[in-house]
């Protein structure tokens, strides 16, 4: 539910949804504001709708692959946990450092 997801968001967290009719109530937006969190909408088909956007996207991917190949950047470490298992997961199971992210999957 929305309340469970809002409660699980950390400070500065991001909530990404692909629901096109998603709405938040004013108390929920206040909670996002107080946590410095954000809500983003994912519409993956947008990249194929515009030739300019597709070219820009391919340029970003090409630049990223070149930087990964040259070891200029390294991918972030993360752990993916299904939403149903969040209650069973303890923080001690994960070895966090400043680059580690915990991703909660709703699938």
Q: What is the DSSP string of 61-94?
A: HHHHHHHHHTTSS-PPPEEEEEGGGGGG--GGGS
Q: What is the pTM of this model?
A: 0.46
How far is 35 from 41, CA to CA, in rounded Å? 19
How far is 63 from 97, CA to CA, in rounded Å? 27
pLDDT score recorded for residue 91: 52
How far is 5 from 11, CA to CA, in rounded Å? 13
pLDDT score recorded for residue 75: 62
CA distances, 16 to each of 29, 49, 90, 94, 99 (Å):
14, 21, 23, 23, 20
Residues of the chain with pLDDT under 50: none
pLDDT score recorded for residue 38: 92
pLDDT score recorded for residue 60: 85
Cα 42 off chain centre by? 10
Specify whether the CB–CB gap between 105 and 83 falls below 8 A: yes
Q: What is the pLDDT of residues 19-44, one digit of tens each?
A: 888 889 999 999 999 999 999 888 77
């Amino acid at each position: 539910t929305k309340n469970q997801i809002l409660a699980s968001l950390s400070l500065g967290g991001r909530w990404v949804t692909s629901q096109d009719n998603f709405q938040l109530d004013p108390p929920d937006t206040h909670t996002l504001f107080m946590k410095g969190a954000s809500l983003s909408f994912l519409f993956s088909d947008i990249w194929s709708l515009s030739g300019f956007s597709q070219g820009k996207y391919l340029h970003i991917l090409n630049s990223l692959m070149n930087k990964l190949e040259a070891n200029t950047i390294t991918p972030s470490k993360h752990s993916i946990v299904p939403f149903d298992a969040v209650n069973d997961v303890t923080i001690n199971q994960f070895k966090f450092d400043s680059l580690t992210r915990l991703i909660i999957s709703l699938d």
